[in-house]
Amino acid sequence: MIKTIGLLTRKDGWTHEQFMRHWVDVHAPLAHAVPGLRRYVQNHISGERTRADIPATDVAIDGVAELWFDDQAALEAAAKTPEMKALHADGAKFIGRIRSYVVEEKFIVGS
């Protein structure tokens, strides 16, 4: 299993509430049509945890998106589909900045 993690920041002029409403009500349903997408998770930020011994990274985000695929080949195949292109085109309407990573999970506790 492989997944992408995207750190999302809303477009200038959008409130956090407008961003969240569009992300949930308009964007999320488009994910259902993406071939090979095994799981789509929206991580809605409800607060921030800080530590006294490690300074915070200077980044402001509105949410974290996870898209799961069987493997790199499935991710690359999905990226070429009209359904994924529609998902990306919609994202461009409300996401102002994004930082995306392709990751493999290494379970330490739990499964």
Query: What own/partner pairs with CB < 8 Å and gap ≥ 24 does 81-88 have?
Result: 81/34, 81/35, 83/30, 83/33, 83/34, 83/35, 84/34, 86/30, 86/33, 87/27, 87/30, 87/31, 87/34
Q: What is the pLDDT of residue 89?
A: 98
Sign of CA dihedral 57, 59, 62, 67: negative
Class in CATH terms, 2-47+61-103: alpha beta
Indicate the average pLDDT of the chain: 95
Contact 36, 78 (CB under 8 A): yes
Q: What is the pLDDT of residue 68?
A: 97
Q: What is the pLDDT of residue 72?
A: 95
Q: What is the pLDDT of residue 105?
A: 86
Please state, in angstroms and rounded to a whole number, the distance separating the CA atoms of residues 48 and 66: 19
Q: What is the pLDDT of residue 40?
A: 97
Q: What is the pLDDT of residue 50?
A: 87
**Letter string b/e over residues 47-80, b meaning 16 or more CB atoms within 10 A of that residue's CB:** eeeeeeeeeeeeeeebbebebbbeeeebbeebee
Tell me the pLDDT tens digit for each residue of 16-72.
Answer: 999 999 999 999 999 999 999 999 999 999 888 888 999 888 888 999 999 999 999
Q: What is the pLDDT of residue 57?
A: 87
The domain limits of the chain are 2-47+61-103
